[in-house]
Amino acid sequence: MKSKIKTYNTKEFQKEYLNASPELNKLFEKSIEDFFCLRIEDLIERVYKPITPSKEESHTLIFVTEGSYKTKIGFKEFTITSDNIVVLQAGVVFSTEHLSKNVKGYTCHFHPNLLIGKFGNRPLNLEFEFLNISSYPIIEVPNNAKSTILNLLQRLTTEFRSEGKPNPDIVHAYVYTLLIELKELYGSNSLVGKSAAYQITNQLRKLAHEKVKENLKASDFAKMMNISPNHLNKSVKTITAKSASHLIDEVKLIEIKYLLYHSNFSISEISYEMGYADPSYFTRFFKKREGVSPVEFRQLIEMS
Is 40:107 a contact under the CB 8 Å cutoff?
Answer: yes
| Residue ranges, CATH 1.10.10.60, the chain | 196-303
- The CATH number of 196-303 is which of 3.40.50.720, 1.10.10.60, 2.30.40.10, 3.30.1390.20? 1.10.10.60
pLDDT one-digit tens code per residue, 215-252: 899 999 999 999 999 999 998 888 777 899 998 998 88
Residue 150, pLDDT score: 97
Q: With the CA atoms of 75, 136, 126 and 255 taken in that order, what torsion angle do they form, in degrees rounded to the nearest 10?
A: -20
| Residue ranges, CATH 2.60.120.280, the chain | 7-189
pLDDT one-digit tens code per residue, 162-176: 887 888 889 989 999
Q: Which of 89, 153, 94, 175 is nearest to 125 (CA)?
A: 89
pTM (two decimals): 0.65
pLDDT one-digit tens code per residue, 187-204: 766 544 457 887 888 789
Angle, to 10 degrees, between the axis of helix 10-17 and the axis of helix 22-29? Answer: 170
* Secondary structure of residue 86 in the 3-state scheme: strand
Class of domain 7-189: mainly beta
Q: Which of 289, 290, 271 is nearest to 281 (CA)?
A: 271
